[in-house]
Amino acid sequence: MKVTARAHTNIALVKYWGKKDQQLIIPQTDSLSLTLDKFYTDTTVEFQPELKHDQLVVDGQVFAPKQMKKVTRVLDRVRELSNQTLYASVNSTNHVPMAAGLASSASAFAALALSASRSAGLTLSGRDLSRLARRGSGSATRSVFGGLVEWHAGHDDQSSYAEPIMENVGFDIEMLAILIDTKQKKISSRGGMQSSVETSPFYPAWREVVAHDMVAMKQAIQNHDIDQIGHLAEENAMRMHALTLSADPDYTYFDGGTIQAMNLIKGLRNQGVNCYYTMDAGPNVKVIYNQRDRERIINALAPSFGVNNLVVAQPGPGAHLL
Ligand code: ADP
Ligand code: DP6
Ligand code: CO
């Protein structure tokens, strides 16, 4: 059966940055994110008797076997769960730049989990679907659901899954992506976070930061307090990036444009516009604010980055069939 699914990316407000188990992708800490409407992946899967191996095409490009290990891992798990051994052909289109810190792996593996499981005749619960997506990429665990989502770190395959906190976000939070550089990053999220776990002396403190931020962030969400959500998200992101600067060898995902954007956003804040920044494993900046301030923020950023590089996103839906 040929099945197509769509899943949207998510941006973490409390970041996931490190694994306890690299095979099963069990994270060191909980995390919490917002699924976005503007960025997504569409993936079609068909298990076919005549195939001799799995095939992957992304945006018209054929992936070599060694480039598709993460995809194979998810497909292997689907074969296990559905008790069959057929290979699959996977065709995927990203409506998000790939490997640029805009979470293509989140939308990609959530879309793959849904399309592959359905194609194999499985109807998984949301929780089990998030556990399956997790095998491909950690952040994909959360993209199975829409709105504000929490990933419980857990301690094994069974206990590590995502859960929606607020699927329909009933307040005016918005996230603007500043596209600074959408080329593929040099250090993958996977390699970067593992290096932080193994070499940053600050890693134990990060676990405590996240434990505190999860509680505070959920409280801010319940209060619909966008300023507090933004403040906590910015602080959490900076503490995550401190783990890259403090690794050996040290590295950073920031570039000059990233720092320029941070300064502009701080400048706006000094003028009384409540907006905050967060970055993932890439130079592109995401701004968190109340949608009533959108115009002022765009007007302040457009001269430096160009209006076409500013993408306004709102809370988006969970993974679904097309
Ligand atoms: P990002 O910031 O985009 O999430 P990552 O380094 O986490 O960057 O993940 C990028 C990797 O995810 C790609 O190199 C590729 O292996 C995989 N990927 C991205 N999009 C797809 C897709 N549509 N289908 C399959 N794999 C994908
Ligand atoms: C900075 O989920 O891309 O975006 O699990 O190794 O595939 P793998 O990594 P990935 O890492 C995401 C890191 C982050 C923070 C986050 O999304 O929570
Ligand atoms: Co990723």
Domain count across the chain: 2
Q: How far is the CA of 189 from the centre of ligand 2 (A)?
A: 6
* Same-domain status, 14 and 163: yes
pLDDT of residue 191: 97
Kindly report whether the peptide bond that precedes residue 249 is cis, defined as omega within 30 degrees of 0: yes
How many whole angstroms separate alpha carbon 33 and alpha carbon 43?
22
Domain with 117 in it: 3-170
Final residue before a domain boundary, out of 131, 152, 170:
170
Cα distances (Å, whole numbers) of residue 109 to 68, 71, 134, 171 = 12, 8, 8, 28
pLDDT in tens, 55-78: 999 999 999 999 999 999 999 999
End-to-end CA distance of the chain: 14
Atom 26, ligand 1: residue with shortest CA distance:
108
Q: How far is the CA of 108 from the centre of ligand 2 (A)?
A: 12
Domain annotation covers residue 61:
yes
Q: Give me the DSSP letters along 106-145.
A: HHHHHHHHHHHHHHTT----HHHHHHHHHTT-TTHHHHTS
Q: How confident is the model at residue 126 (pLDDT cuts 50, 70, 90)?
A: very high
Closest CA to 320 of 33, 81, 40, 2: 40
* Same-domain status, 182 and 96: no
Closest CA to 111 of 93, 138, 89, 88: 93
Q: How confident is the model at residue 315 (pLDDT cuts 50, 70, 90)?
A: very high
Q: Average pLDDT of 271-298?
A: 98
Closest CA to 268 of 309, 301, 230, 315: 301
Q: How far is CA 184 from the centre of its chain?
A: 15
Which residues have a Cβ under 8 Å from the Cβ of 190 and sit 6 or more positions away? Answer: none
Q: Three-state SS for 190?
A: helix
Tokens, residue 8? 């949207």
Ligand 1: list residues with CB < 6 Å. 41, 58, 70-71, 92, 94, 98-105, 108, 137, 188-189, 281-282
* Same-domain status, 15 and 160: yes
Tokens, residue 166? 């607020």
* Same-domain status, 177 and 113: no
Backbone angles phi, psi at 23, to 5 degrees: -75, -50
- Classify strands 55-58 and 87-95 as parallel, antiparallel or unpaired: parallel
Backbone angles phi, psi at 277, to 5 degrees: -115, 155
Q: Average pLDDT of 90-95?
A: 98
Strands (E) located in the chain: 3-14, 19-21, 26-27, 31-48, 55-58, 61-62, 87-95, 148-152, 161-166, 173-178, 275-279, 285-290, 310-313, 320-321
Closest CA to 264 of 310, 220, 228, 224: 310
* Same-domain status, 124 and 268: no
pLDDT of residue 199: 98
Q: Residue 135 maps to which CATH number?
A: 3.30.230.10
pLDDT in tens, 127-159: 999 999 999 999 999 999 999 999 999 999 999
Atom 14, ligand 1: residue with shortest CA distance:
99
Q: pTM here?
A: 0.98
* Same-domain status, 247 and 278: yes
Which ipTM was obtained for this model?
A: 0.99
How many whole angstroms separate alpha carbon 75 and alpha carbon 56?
11
Contact status, residue 20 vs residue 130, Cβ threshold 8 Å: no
* Same-domain status, 217 and 138: no
Q: How far is CA 217 from the centre of its chain?
A: 17
Final residue before a domain boundary, out of 142, 170, 198:
170
Pocket test for ligand 2, best of 280, 284, 286 (most atoms within 8 A of CB): 280
Ligand 1, atom nearest to 188 Cα: 6
Q: How confident is the model at residue 5 (pLDDT cuts 50, 70, 90)?
A: very high
Which residues have a Cβ under 8 Å from the Cβ of 24 and sit 6 or more positions away? Answer: 134, 135, 156, 157, 160
Say if residue 234 is exposed, middle or buried (CB neighbours under 10 Å; 0-12, 13-18, 19+): buried
Ligand 2: list residues with CB < 6 Å. 12, 15-17, 25, 31, 103, 105, 137-139, 189-190, 280-281
How many whole angstroms separate alpha carbon 106 and alpha carbon 190?
13
Tokens, residue 82? 């559905």
How many whole angstroms separate alpha carbon 209 and alpha carbon 216?
11
Q: How far is the CA of 101 from the centre of ligand 1 (A)?
A: 10
Final residue before a domain boundary, out of 110, 144, 170:
170
Q: Average pLDDT of 273-285?
A: 98
DSSP-derived secondary structure letter, 48: E
* Same-domain status, 12 and 131: yes
Average pLDDT of the chain is 98
Ligand 1, atom nearest to 103 Cα: 4
pLDDT in tens, 18-30: 999 999 999 999 9
Work out the angle at residue 278's Cα, subtended by the Cα atoms of residues 284 and 256, and round it to the nearest 5 degrees: 45
Domain annotation covers residue 322:
no
